[in-house]
Amino acid sequence: MKKIASIFSIILMTLGMANAQNFSADQNQPQEPQQNQPLTYNDYTPPTRQAIWSVDYQMGLTTGEARDFVSKYGTRGFSVSGEAFMTDKITLGGSIGWNGFYEKFPRRTYHIGEGSDITGVKSNSIYTLPIMVTGGYYFLPDAFIQPYAKLGVGVVYAETRTDIGYVYVADEEWRFGITPEVGVYVPFGIDSNVGLIAKAKWNVVFYNAHDISTLSYFNFNIGLGFTF
């Protein structure tokens, strides 16, 4: 019996030493770092937003009576807007922008008034500075691509000017205006607070000056959106 107990003890000691060596070897082996799995669009959860701001480059195209004055596409313009989220879908804020339209006509004799004619190169210009209070609605606040609609109401500084040689006729007015808008905001990544914003606006200014009763034009904007 003592011999059996001794043999059994030797076997247990041998197994214990082998396990200890294996454990020590496993501890000494370098551990591979765990890699985070990349996020996918299926993992997207919209961030909690309190506000959205945008800075845009904007182009324009006159419509109606304003198109009779300047028909060329306007490439000079910008806008800045900021809005707070009242709910996850409804925003309230404001915007300011600037637009410039210009068209040049060939040299000839122009009639500028009763009994007045002048010969020269003619150019027409329109400049506007809309300052709006805006309200918006985001249709898909939980989606990665977020379309919206917006309406702006406010005042617009509008200037129309005709130059012929050294003679010019200009009119400057502050007028009431409205601006319906549609657009889309797309963040640069599923965890990004910065994204691309594209929008189209129709500006209507109740002008009643320089033979233009309603000064209207489209804007096409591309810019950066920032959410906070």
Which domains, and CATH codes, for the chain? 49-227 (2.40.160.20)
Q: Which residues of the chain have pLDDT under 50?
A: 1-5, 7-8, 11-12, 14-16, 18-20, 22-23, 25-26
Burial classification of residue 139, based on how many CB atoms lie within 10 Å of its CB (0-12 exposed, 13-18 middle, 19 or more buried)? exposed
pLDDT of 100 reads 97
pLDDT of 70 reads 97
Q: Is 16 left (phi over 0), alpha (psi -120 to 50) or beta?
A: alpha
pLDDT of 210 reads 76
Q: How many CB atoms lie within 10 A of CB 181?
A: 21
**Residues 19-34: tens digit of each pLDDT:** 445 445 445 555 555 5
Q: How many CB atoms lie within 10 A of CB 70?
A: 21
The identity of residue 77, as a single letter, is G
pLDDT of 31 reads 54
Stated pTM of the model: 0.78
